[in-house]
Amino acid sequence: MKIEHIAIWTHNLEKKQFQSYFISFESGARLELMSRADILDQPKNSNDPMQTGYTHFAFGVATMAEVDTKARELAEQGFPILSGPRVTGDGYYEFETLDPDGNRLEVATHFTQP
């Protein structure tokens, strides 16, 4: 498993509707900066991912089967599965969970047609 990307909500992008930019690093990890008009501009004090600042860490795996396996393993260990596994609009197959401190995590792979 590798770090796929880290996502941060910001009001400092160019358009008012949802938009995201990825900044790629030599290691393959990426930083995702996201913007949408309805994101709250206040300190992050809950598990609500719709506030400015850090929103999630995404870990990349090689296959859709690995996403499914990791979701099942974490659910069996008592971690909440917040969404997914599902295909996203930006071409990923992923699920979301929370770590023990309530930080949002994703496990994802690029979607491929079965």
- Cα–Cα distance between 68 and 48 in angstroms, integer? 24
Q: Domain coordinates of the chain in residue numbers?
A: 2-110
Give the pLDDT of residue 114: 66
Instruction: Examine the pLDDT at 36 and tell me if it is beyond 90.
Output: no
State pTM to two decimals.
0.66
- Cα–Cα distance between 54 and 7 in angstroms, integer? 6
Topology given in CATH for the domain delimited by 2-110: 2,3-Dihydroxybiphenyl 1,2-Dioxygenase; domain 1 (3.10.180)
Reading the block at residue 67, the tokens are 């996403």
Give the pLDDT of residue 49: 62
**pLDDT band with cut points at 50, 70 and 90 for residue 51:** low
First to last CA, the chain: 22
Instruction: Examine the pLDDT at 6 and tell me if it is beyond 80.
Output: no
**pLDDT band with cut points at 50, 70 and 90 for residue 100:** confident
Give the pLDDT of residue 21: 79
